[in-house]
Amino acid sequence: MVIVMNEIKLPRINCETVCKEIGDFIIETVKKTKSTGCIVGLSGGVDSSTTAALIKSAFDRHNANDDDTLELVGYILPSSINKMEDAKDAQILVEMLGIRFEIHSIEKPVEAFKLTNPEAFEKDYHKGNLISRVRANVLSTKAATEKKSLAGTGNKDEDYGIGYYTLFGDGAVHFSPIAGLSKRLVREMALFLEVDEAIVHRVPTAGLEPGQSDFKDLGYDYDVVELVTEGLEQGFALEQLAIHDQVAPLVKRQIENYRSIYGNPRLDSVEGVVEDIDRRHQQALNKVKIVHPPTPKITLNYD
C-alpha cells in the first residue's frame, strides 16, 4: 500500500552561489592551517572529480588576487582491483583542470600487510578496508611532506546518511568540501563545473572489492538514501516512510532492478530498505563522533 502524505522536501541549490561558498570555505581552511594548497585522491568518480574541480576553481580565484599562491595536486592510487578505465577517467580530469598529478600503484604496500595482517586477506570486505587505509596513509603522508591539506571526497549521503566509508581510510581527511551535497547535488555541481559527463554518470563504486558497486552492496541507490534521511530529519516515522508515495514506488523499482541484475535482492521489501538506511544512519552518527572533519556551511533551499 502506498499512502499520499506530506511531501518530503529535497533541497535545491544555486550552483554558482554554493560553488563560491564551498570555495571560500576551502581557502579559509587552507590559509588557517598555513598550507601550501591541497592534496586530493582521484578515483575517476564524480565525487573526487567534483571536489578537485571545486578546489581548483577556488584556488584560481584566490591566486588571481594574492601573491601567496595555492596549489592543488591530484594523486591517482590504483590497486589491482581497480579498472584501468578509472585511472583514465582521473587523468582526463587532471588534464582538464591543468593540475600537477602523480600515479602510484599501491599493490605492493597492500600486499606487505600479509606479514602483519594475513587475516585481512581472507575476506574481500576486510581487504577492501585495508586498501582504503593504505591509500589514506599515502595521501596523508604526501600532504604532510608537501605541507598541504588533504581534502576529503565524501558526499552527504555517504558520510552523514549511511556512513558508507572506511573509518581511518577515506574518512581520514583534514576537511570535507562536498559533505553538504547529496549525490544528486554533487552531479548537478559537476555538470556546472563542466566535469566530463562520462564521469558524472558513472556507476558509483568504492573500488575496494572485485565487481563491487554501491548499489550491489546496499541494495538501493543514493536517491533513496537522500529521501529517507531527509524524511527522518523532517520528522517522518519509519512506518510512514515505508508507505510514503515518494519512497515506496522508487524502492520497489530498485528492488526489481536489483533482482534483474543480481538475482535475489539483498533487501526484498520497502520496510527492509527503510530500516536498513535508518540502521546505517545511526551507525554513521556514531562514526562522526569518532572523526569529524570540518564541513562548509552552504545554502540549501527547501521551498
Tens digit of each residue's pLDDT (9 = 90 or more) over 203-226: 888 777 777 889 999 999 999 999
**Which residue in 153, 190, 195 sits closest to 172, CA to CA?**
153
Burial degree of 252 (CB within 10 A; 0-12, 13-18, 19+): middle
pLDDT of residue 17: 97
Q: What's the mean pLDDT in 198-204?
A: 88
pLDDT of residue 209: 77
Q: Which residues pair with 151 in a beta bridge?
A: 175
Q: Which residue has the higher pLDDT, 287 or 187?
A: 187
Q: Using CA atoms, how far apart are residues 179 and 266, in angstroms rounded to an integer?
A: 27
pLDDT of residue 23: 97
Q: What's the mean pLDDT in 40-45?
A: 94
Q: Which residues pair with 73 in a beta bridge?
A: 39, 100
Q: Is the pTM for the entire model greater than 0.85? A: yes
Considering the chain, tell me which residue range(s) the CATH 3.40.50.620 domain(s) occupy: 15-213
pLDDT of residue 288: 83
CATH 3.40.50.620 fits 15-213, yes or no: yes
By the 8 A CB rule, do 170 and 135 touch?
yes
- Where helices occur in 64-122 by DSSP H, the ranges are 84-97, 107-112
